[in-house]
Amino acid sequence: MLSGFETPIQLWLEIPATVQSTAWQQSQAFSTAASRWNAYLNQLCVETFLHWWRDTAQSQSCEAAQIADPSTSPELWEVMNGVALTLDHTRLVLIPSEAIDTSELRTPQEWVDIPSWAGDYYLAAQVNPDEGWIRFWGYTSHHQIKANAHYEAGDRTYTLPSDALIADLNVLWVIRQLNAQEVTRGVLPPLPELTIEQAELLLEQLSPKISQEMSMLQSPRLMVSFEQWGSLLQNVEWRSRLLSHYRSTPAMAPQADTPALATVNTSTPVRLSQWFQNVFEAGWESLESLFGEANLAYSFRRTETAEGIRRVKLVSLETTFQPQSAVLMISLTPEIDGRVEVQVQLRPTPGDVYLPADVSLRLLSVASQPLQFTRSRQQDNYIQLKRFRCLPGWEFIVQIELNGTIVTEHFIS
Amino acid sequence: MRHRQNLIELFSTFVQFAGDRFGGWLADPRLERSMKASLQQAATTVRELSEGIWALHWHEHWRKNPTGSAANHLSAYLQESCYWAAYKMINRFTSTPYKLSDCFQIAIADLPKILNRFSAAQGSSLKAYASAAFGTAIRDTLRQRQEADICSDWGLLRKLSQKRFADALSKAGLPNHKVAQYSLAWNCFKTIYVPSKGTATRQLSRPERSTWEAIADLYNRDRLQLEDPGLPCSPEVMEQWLSFCAERARAYLYPSALSLNAPKPGLDEGELQDDLPDPMADAPLSLLIAAEEAEVRDSQRSQINTVLLNQLEQMDTQAQQLLQLYYGDELTQQQIAQELGIKQYAVSRRLSKTREILLLALASWSQQTLHISLSSDVVSNMNDVLEEWLYSYFHNAPPFTKGV
């Protein structure tokens, strides 16, 4: 209890008891004491905020919260503080701290200077886990940070003193209603694109084994130049590889009940050519075994050729927010010229009618170049990528993402 | 408390405590002279100027020359607001170890920040703005002290911002390179020594020997990054350093005495530059401008009053009751929760929501009638106006009382 110290100016939220216990449990999957604690505070913060947002949005019959945002991936808490949310087209970055004094807002540079990560507004949150509450004590905009914050090169943060922040979040909600055009973003130069070689080299340099030898404090985010680090992070594939390093390091093995926060990364590619010999990798089932014989609704619209092969895999998209799953369906049709036509679809799990909203399906080259992209809306029965043809031996990656949980499947045709 | 009688007193005298009560007004001769001179200069204007206009004038002056005497005039002017903010806060808590004079000191120390944030543009008055801000300063500090009192040294070390940590050490007189070394040690401590339970961060016990060894190891590896790496440190030295830091951080929350705005009665010396009169060539003109602006604001204020009254009437009785209890009866949210039989968090949310509706009404009105382009800063200023209006309305005072 804040016992008389509270004001109606600041948004002050109770942490739901269930949030507190799950956040603690899930944080145990992180690799170091410091990152576990960081993950715990961040999760408390974002979930409590979302609880409140959903309550409020409901009462105003507003659009529900949208959190489709790759950079919100909780794995990030291995290496840095903060979480981003997109709510009603406004991107908020929450920066939790357990400090009892609200002297400053300290924002990691990534949230400011990676163009695709930058937020419209930054919210300072004081987390008090002992008493179970969070106080959002001020906010500022990206523009203000770029214009007025002090950049500290030592830990690559932008700091603003508390009196440079606006204390009342009501001001923010009012502004969003009356002047959604408010200039919130400062000018940012783009970060350089990395070549595959550069990225591989960086990943090697930043592997936890090496970074641990150097120092535990010397966080990976400070080991290479910001341009390099930021470029690596802004690429979904590189980032998930980087972060999975931390999760999979044996010396810091997470506990057995690791929640599905982590990226599911299949290390060995699925060999599609073998499917024609009836050799299938684990998890790839026939339609019938997953959906049952009778369910004809799941056939592709196009007439199937006799040689065509279809296989499905159940994909778990369990996020911190709610468990979700879907079915990834791959259909292969051999062409006369030796190529194979590939069709990729994402379907609801048996028994469900709709896909989760905002689940995205991506096709990437093996060098992580994005090739195709689609995303589900509310009440989509399925989503699919455009058919493509490829020569035997061509490698590609299919990524499914929901609320920052990324499932990656690697194929060789 | 005796009210100060005239403009000269208002802008040149300070509260003096006798025991823990108001003891009288203490004049600062230097400010007295300065105020007299300013009044003489202003005598060329046709009309008598209110204290509110003088406050705006000095605030404007302070913006142009923050090191001049304007800050002291404003400090004198706001003594009463500060005193009453402290008085209210003390009466709010029946069992507090703090004295009225403690709260007064805490609040007045925040004056530079308050002057910096105050913006007259949307029509709030400095006095009302400062009253609310003094209250916030006292609340924040008391809350931090309360939390710090509950914490063990090791718990407290985790609960400091980097800025607070560094400030506390600098205040203790440590040179920069030492502050950097201690900060590194502190970061090593926070990296290694993490609470083992999610709900018991305050009473962290003293780290084990093995933990201190790990902290020292980390420090010794990382100290090479420092400009002045110093010598390698033993686990004992780490513990010694961090104990010292915790002690300094506590002391920093309880400053022994503040002389920031204390009057220097009878000591009409000061530094040479203090005695140089501020350049006041434009004083009558800037006063006239302040007076004109005040007139415009007065008419604005009556419109604002109408807008807010209308909005308030449209609200349900529960919302009105909440506002009455909070702003009028000055109950804490906890007390309101007890009174209404709901949870404190619910009170907090509903109050916040109610204020949002009022703020929205005010902001859309200004957008439509004044054609103001709304930014966060502008709306934030309106929020100050709203807060001021709520206090005066629920105290049955005519909203926006005299004194601009």
With helix as H, strand as E and coil as C, how does A188-238 read? CCCCCCCCHHHHHHHHHHCCHHHHHHHCCCCCHHHCCCHHHHHHHHHCHHH
pLDDT of residue A59: 47
pLDDT of residue B226: 84
Q: Is A58 near chain B, with CB under 8 Å?
A: no
Q: What distance in Å separates residue A246's CA from the closest CA in chain B?
A: 16
Instruction: Report the pLDDT averaged over residues A270-288.
Output: 86
pLDDT of residue B261: 44
Which candidate in B379, B384, B387, B394 is best for mutational testing of the A interface (most A CBs within 10 A)? B379
Reported ipTM: the value is: 0.87
Q: Which among A8, A99, A173 has the least Cβ separation from residue B164?
A: A99
Q: Is A23 near chain B, with CB under 8 Å?
A: yes
pLDDT in tens, B261-271: 444 444 444 44
Looking only at the bridges linking them, the beta strands covering A370-375 and A309-316 are unpaired
Q: Which among B93, B136, B148 has the least Cβ separation from residue A4?
A: B93
Contact A8 B162 (CB under 8 A): no
**Residue numbers in A near B365 (CB within 8 A):** none
> Distance between CA atoms of B83 and A115, rounded to whole angstroms?
49
Q: Read out DSSP for A115-176? A: TTT--SEEEEEEEETTTTEEEEEEEEEHHHHHHHPEEETTTTEEEEEGGGSB--HHHHHHHH
Q: Which among B93, B218, B367 has the least Cβ separation from residue A178?
A: B367
pLDDT in tens, A126-180: 999 999 999 999 999 999 999 999 999 888 999 999 989 999 999 999 998 898 7
Contact B195 A37 (CB under 8 A): yes
pLDDT of B30 > 60? The answer is yes
pLDDT of residue A307: 66
**Residue numbers in B near A38 (CB within 8 A):** none
pLDDT of residue B14: 93
**Residue numbers in A near B164 (CB within 8 A):** 99, 101, 103
pLDDT in tens, A211-256: 555 445 557 888 888 999 999 998 888 888 888 777 654 333 333 3
pLDDT of B84 > 80? The answer is yes
Instruction: Report the pLDDT averaged over residues A25-53.
Output: 89
Q: Is A174 near chain B, with CB under 8 Å?
A: yes
CB A260 within 8 Å of CB A401: no
pLDDT of B46 > 90? The answer is no
pLDDT in tens, B269-291: 444 344 444 555 556 677 777 77
Question: From its phi and psi, is residue B249 left (phi > 0), alpha (psi between -120 and 50) or beta?
Answer: alpha
- How many angstroms separate the Cα of B271 from the Cα of each of B29, B30, B274, B276? 15, 12, 5, 9
Q: Is A178 near chain B, with CB under 8 Å?
A: yes
Find, among B188, B186, B68, B77, the residue nearest to B128 by Cα: B77
pLDDT of B178 > 50? The answer is yes
Contact B360 A174 (CB under 8 A): yes
What are residue A334's DSSP bridge partners?
A340
**Which of A12-26, A63-77, A137-151 tops mean pLDDT?**
A137-151
Q: What distance in Å separates residue B143's CA from the closest CA in chain A?
A: 6
Instruction: Report the pLDDT averaged over residues B188-198.
Output: 91
**Residue numbers in A near B118 (CB within 8 A):** none
Which candidate in B92, B139, B342, B348 is best for mutational testing of the A interface (most A CBs within 10 A)? B348
Percent of chain A residues past pLDDT 90, beyond the cut:
30
Largest interatomic CA distance in chain B: 79
Q: At what angle do helices B126-150 and B235-253 cross, to 10 degrees?
A: 140
pLDDT of residue B157: 96
Q: What distance in Å separates residue A49's CA from the closest CA in chain B?
A: 13
Q: Is A26 near chain B, with CB under 8 Å?
A: no
CB pairs under 8 A between A and B: 164
pLDDT in tens, A353-380: 889 888 889 887 766 666 777 888 888 8
Contact A98 B218 (CB under 8 A): no
pLDDT of A199 > 50? The answer is yes
Percent of chain B residues past pLDDT 70, beyond the cut:
89
